[in-house]
């Protein structure tokens, strides 16, 4: 029996996934978590075999940070990332962090089950659209690569919140940072990306598929 932990900040999503899995006799959902920090604690407590990890959770360390910490503490735990996006930079960053699988949230239930059973055997499972785009990305020149790839995990998290129209103080409160620190990250991103405003950041997000997380 494979023990599954579901991590998503939307209760309806967690409930829906749980219902999909409950008919599988070889699987048991042992719990759910609504944040990256909660995922780490639930992993310690429940010892799941596989974690279905939402990539983008607005507060705290987020899905990427939680993935890195869980793989550091529990390297044998398999993690399947769930995202609304099938384009970089998130797939590459999560694969580098040690996920065993990557699914888009639009994937059919049958594919989710296939991914779970595939990673349980020690294999990787990357949904078709993601695998194709990653292959094409490798074939392209650096000139065509996403400039967002140069952002750190925290910068990428804050960039996502900015394009979701969150104000600096809202971001600060959500991430337990000072607004000054958030603005430091913000201007550091502007410098890295050679832009001057949130509007330009949003335009880059549209161009390089950072919109649509959740």
- 139 or 148, which is more confident? 148
What percent of the chain shows pLDDT beyond 90?
45
Average confidence (pLDDT) over 59-66: 86
pLDDT at 214: 44
Average confidence (pLDDT) over 13-17: 92
Among the residue ranges 47-51, 82-86, 145-149, the one predicted with the least confidence is: 145-149
Take residue 197 and report the two structure tokens written for it.
């405003």
What domains, with CATH codes, occur in the chain? Answer: 2-138 (3.40.50.2300), 146-207 (1.10.10.10)
Taking the whole predicted model, whether its pTM rises above 0.75 is answered as no
CA distance linking residue 203 with residue 4, whole number of Å: 38
DSSP 120-147: HTT--EE-HHHHHHHHHHHHS-GGGS-G
Residue written as token pair 């020149």: 141
Among the residue ranges 51-65, 113-127, 134-148, 177-191, the one predicted with the least confidence is: 134-148
CA distance linking residue 164 with residue 143, whole number of Å: 27
The radius of gyration of the chain's CA atoms, rounded to the nearest angstrom, is 17
Average confidence (pLDDT) over 128-139: 61
For the cut 50, the answer to whether the pLDDT of residue 139 exceeds it is no
CA distance linking residue 26 with residue 23, whole number of Å: 9
Region of residue 51 (left: phi > 0; alpha: psi -120 to 50; beta: else): beta
pLDDT at 127: 87
pLDDT digits (tens, 9 = 90+) for 99-127: 999 998 888 999 999 999 999 999 999 98
């Amino acid at each position: 029996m494979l023990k599954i932990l579901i991590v998503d900040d939307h209760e309806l999503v967690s409930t829906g996934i749980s219902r999909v899995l409950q008919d599988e006799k070889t699987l048991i959902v042992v719990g759910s978590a609504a944040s990256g920090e909660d995922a780490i604690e639930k992993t310690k407590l429940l010892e799941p075999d596989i974690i279905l990890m939402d990539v983008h959770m607005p507060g705290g360390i987020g899905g990427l940070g939680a993935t890195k910490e869980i793989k550091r503490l529990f390297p044998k735990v398999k993690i399947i990332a769930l995202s609304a996006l099938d384009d970089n930079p998130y797939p590459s960053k999560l694969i580098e962090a040690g996920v065993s699988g990557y699914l888009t949230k639009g994937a059919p239930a049958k594919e989710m089950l296939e991914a779970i059973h595939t990673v349980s055997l020690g294999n990787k499972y990357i949904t078709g659209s993601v695998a194709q785009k990653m292959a094409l990305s490798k074939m392209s020149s650096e000139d065509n690569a996403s400039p967002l790839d140069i952002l750190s995990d925290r910068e990428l998290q804050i960039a996502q919140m900015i394009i979701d129209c969150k104000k600096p103080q809202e971001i600060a409160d959500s991430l337990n940072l000072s607004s000054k620190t958030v603005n430091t990250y913000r201007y550091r991103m502007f410098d890295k990306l050679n832009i001057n405003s949130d509007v330009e950041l949003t335009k880059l997000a549209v161009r390089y598929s950072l919109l649509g997380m959740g």
